[in-house]
Amino acid sequence: MERRKVLLREEEMPRRWYNILADIRLNPPLGPDGKPVRPEMLAPVFPMNLIEQEMSPERWVDIPDEVLSIYALWRPTPLVRAVGLERALGTPARIYYKFEGASPPGSHKPNTAVPQAYYNKVFGIRRLTTETGAGQWGSALAFACAQFGLECKVFMVRVSYDQKPYRKTMMQTWGAQCVPSPSPETRAGREILARDPHSPGSLGIAISEAVEAAVSDASGKTRYSLGSVLNHVMLHQTVIGLEAKAQLAKIGEFPDVVVGCAGGGSNFAGLAFPFVYDKIHGRAIDIHPVEPAACPTLTRGPFAYDHGDTAGYTPLLPMHSLGHTFMPPPMHAGGLRYHGMAPTVSQLAVEGLIEPKAYGQVETFEAGMLAARNEGVIPAPETNHALACVVDLARRAKEEGKEKVILFNWSGHGLIDLASYEKYLTGELHDIAYPAEDIEEAEKILERYPKPQILKSR
């Protein structure tokens, strides 16, 4: 029998996260005065222990025991050999995936939700606010807050709130409150609703609402939590790649190619950063973040300073961006509808250490169907983007007769996303173009801000 999966024992779970800031150089985030942000400026938004982690240059960061104990509910996750997919494609490539859909909310998101809730709790915070696109992040934070007895309020992007009502039910089951965004509860939400009462919302708008709700709470016991983009989020997710490395080593494998879908960049980073380390230190690996052609942040967006949210509450971050007012079309991979990208992932793209790819919605669902039928698990629409790239690479390996080792992140299951599969199956799911004029518009918005330097880490 061929080997289908490689498991680690609970005791073999990594005890430290990998911090890529030890190995690359980043432009600093800028405050409203145009100067680098100082830690105390972020104090109304995040607890100081997480701010310190955000700025830490230490290569290895210990994972607290309390976090490990909750990780152990679903970690270590299996590394699965996609034998069914390989057969269906007739490829000589060996395809492996980390299955992050095994967590209670069904994705990689609790890898950071749990430590974020933990550090907030230790700092004396009682309530967290956040945004959610697809609903995976909101439900992960709701789950994590329930573990530490914190209150949780989630602003969910309107279009996803309507497409996926059961995500709201999940959050409520874990004790969180979930409201559709834009909402009348914040100034940022009211301004958008005044312009467009039927706005489908966006992650940028929902972030503005959640930040506003946190900083305007007079008790001082509320903070904001972000599910992607920031350095500490990428750090927490590296548990995925560190486990994958240990699992591959058990069977004497090392990837030629690493692939992950990219919304704000965290599941991609989580799998890829420990391998980027090897690439920086001389190993040949192709590394691909994959995004929607309808929201092509890394493949077409300029590298610039921009806000992380629509209202401009966040510091200016050095990143690839489609402009913070960009309203991504209501496609089905809600978690990939974001105008920006993690500064760390953006920096790697600028340096050519990773090579971004973009796919249309229909092609991603074709790959998702192929994977579901041959591997069993129905993938999240976001994961389908990684799958589209993997299918391409596996077909190319067949044409070239090459035995490539492909590793990708199966970032979540799609069992709460079946409405999108229904659309695909009934022929109602179409590609959505990203118009060239939108890039000109983005460039105009971004012209207002300072330009980041083109830094070289090596």
Interface ranges with ligand PLP (CB under 6 A): 107, 133-134, 136-137, 228, 261-268, 335-336, 380, 382-383, 411-412
Nearer to ligand PLP, 269 or 397 (CB): 269
Helix axes 110-122, 136-148, angle to 10 degrees: 40
Q: How far is the CB of 218 from ligand PLP (least distance, A)?
A: 31
Q: Min. distance of Cβ 167 from ligand PLP in angstroms?
A: 10
Joined together, the tokens standing for residue 458 give: 């090596």
Find the shortest distance in angstroms from Cβ 194 to ligand PLP: 28
The enclosing H or E element of 177 equals strand 177-181
Pair of tokens at residue 196: 């467009």
Give the residue among 406, 454, 435, 402 at the shortest CA–CA distance from 80. Answer: 406
Nearest residue (beta carbon) to ligand PLP: 335
Q: Which is nearer to ligand PLP, 19 or 411 (CB)?
A: 411
Cα-based torsion angle of the residue sequence 258, 377, 99, 4 in order, rounded to the nearest 10 degrees: -80
Q: What's CA 340's distance to the chain center, in Å?
A: 11
Using a 10 angstrom Cβ sphere, with 0-12 exposed, 13-18 middle and 19 or more buried, the burial of residue 282 is: exposed
Closest CA to 346 of 205, 228, 229, 267: 229
Contacts of 29 (CB under 8 A, 6+ apart): 36, 37, 315, 316, 317, 318, 343
Candidates 111, 128, 142, 140; CA nearest to 232 is: 111
Residues in Cβ contact with 375 at an 8 Å cutoff, skipping those fewer than 6 apart: 80, 82, 84, 85
The least CB distance from residue 104 to ligand PLP, in Å, is 14
- CB closer to ligand PLP, 71 vs 137: 137
Q: How far is the CB of 270 from ligand PLP (least distance, A)?
A: 7
Q: Is the dihedral of CA 124, 126, 130, 132 positive or negative?
A: positive
Nearer to ligand PLP, 176 or 193 (CB): 176
Dihedral angle over CA of 443, 446, 451, 454, nearest 10: -50
- Which residue, 182 or 264, is less far from ligand PLP as judged by CB? 264
Cβ proximity to ligand PLP: between 117 and 262 the closer is 262
Q: Which of residues 210 and 380 has its CB atom nearest to ligand PLP in the complex?
A: 380
Minimum Å gap between C-beta 261 and ligand PLP is 5
Q: How far is the CB of 242 from ligand PLP (least distance, A)?
A: 17
Q: How far is the CB of 110 from ligand PLP (least distance, A)?
A: 11
Q: Judged by CB, which is closer to ligand PLP: 193, or 421?
A: 421
